[in-house]
């Protein structure tokens, strides 16, 4: 039994290497043209997932370098998940480990992958609910807050600027994915909700402990709170939905 398992493992490794390298000589007993077809299908599928996720990143990379990164990933990258949607994450990790692209490019890749996460992650977002200033609110599980040392939204991806930025990526109940640059105050308020559910009154009280009363604009905080409720970014942690 052990010998059969060893032989099977060796065959699987040989098959994987032949597919990765498109080299029919690495696997005996399989018709070369069939192996070539299968290898091309696997490569097209893998590259398709990468290209679908990273649409802006290639515009800021040397074309040959970007192509070589994908080729090296197919040949030597290690898969840690059986799900095809994780290919983009595996490729991001591969690029981070290789250290062949700049931190600016890696930040953009992380941003683009977060959009994919928002698109495919499953979460129920409530439709109608009641709330008041004492209602405990939570951050939507399909919302991602990002702080980068660069800014690529300021000029709509045309240039990566060396300027700190605070970003939010989220999905609404209709599966529409949005992103935008936000203020430090927005980032702070939403980060607090990411850590634990809070009510508007609790958050306001927390701010008054950090800042002087003169520095706090209660109407501004209330407007920010309402803005993100309307955007389906925050909602009650315990939901009692209202009839439409």
Higher confidence at residue 11 or residue 115?
115
- What pLDDT does 8 receive? 46
Q: Are residues 215 and 148 in the same domain?
A: yes
Q: Are residues 89 and 156 in the same domain?
A: no
Tens digit of each residue's pLDDT (9 = 90 or more) over 123-159:
889 988 999 999 999 999 999 999 999 999 999 999 9
Q: Are residues 91 and 172 in the same domain?
A: no
Residue 172 lies in a domain: yes
Tens digit of each residue's pLDDT (9 = 90 or more) over 192-229:
999 999 999 999 998 888 776 556 788 999 999 999 99
Q: Which of 48, 78, 101 is the last residue of a domain?
A: 101
* Cα angle: 144, vertex 150, 155; to 5 degrees: 90
Residue with tokens 């480990």: 97
- What pLDDT does 39 receive? 74
> Per the structure, how many domains does the chain have?
2
Q: Are residues 39 and 83 in the same domain?
A: yes
Cα–chain center distance at 139: 16
C-alpha closest to that of 124 among 140, 113, 138: 140
Q: Are residues 157 and 223 in the same domain?
A: yes
C-alpha closest to that of 50 among 135, 138, 113, 115: 113
CATH label of the domain that carries residue 69: 1.10.150.690
Residue 111 lies in a domain: no
Integer CA distances (angstroms), 68 to 42, 64, 148, in order: 17, 6, 26
Tokens of 181: 């640059």
Q: What global pTM score does this model have?
A: 0.84
Highest mean pLDDT: which range of 23-32, 39-48, 129-138: 129-138
Q: Which of 58, 75, 101 is the last residue of a domain?
A: 101
Helix (H, G, I), strand (E, B) or coil at 187: helix
Residue 242 lies in a domain: no
Domain that holds residue 57: 1-101
Integer CA distances (angstroms), 106 to 11, 54, 89, 94, 238, in order: 36, 11, 12, 11, 37
Cα end-to-end distance, the chain, whole Å: 63
Question: What pLDDT band is residue 242 in, cutting at 50, 70 and 90?
Answer: very low
Mean pLDDT along residues 39-44:
80
Residue 116 lies in a domain: no
């Amino acid at each position: 039994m052990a010998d059969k398992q060893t032989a099977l493992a060796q065959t699987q490794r040989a098959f994987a290497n032949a597919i990765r390298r498109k080299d029919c000589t690495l696997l005996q007993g399989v018709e070369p043209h069939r192996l070539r077809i299968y290898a091309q299908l696997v490569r097209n599928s893998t590259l398709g997932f990468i290209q679908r996720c990273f649409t802006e990143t290639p515009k800021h990379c040397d074309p040959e370098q970007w192509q070589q990164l994908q080729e090296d990933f197919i040949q030597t990258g290690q898969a840690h998940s059986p799900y095809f949607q994780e290919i983009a994450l595996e490729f991001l990790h591969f690029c981070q480990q290789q250290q062949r692209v700049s931190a600016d490019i890696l930040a953009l890749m992380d941003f683009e992958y977060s959009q994919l996460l928002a698109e495919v992650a499953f979460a129920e977002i409530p439709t109608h609910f009641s709330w008041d200033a004492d209602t405990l609110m939570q951050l939507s599980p399909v919302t991602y807050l990002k702080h980068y040392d660069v800014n690529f939204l300021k000029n709509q991806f045309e240039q990566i600027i060396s300027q700190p930025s605070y970003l939010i990526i989220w999905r609404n109940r209709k599966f529409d994915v949005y992103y935008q640059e936000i203020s430090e105050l927005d980032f702070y308020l939403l980060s607090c909700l990411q850590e634990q559910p809070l009510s508007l009154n609790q958050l306001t009280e927390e701010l008054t402990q950090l800042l002087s009363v003169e520095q706090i604009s209660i109407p501004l905080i209330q407007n920010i709170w309402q803005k993100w409720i309307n955007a389906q970014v925050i909602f009650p942690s315990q939901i009692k939905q209202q009839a439409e």
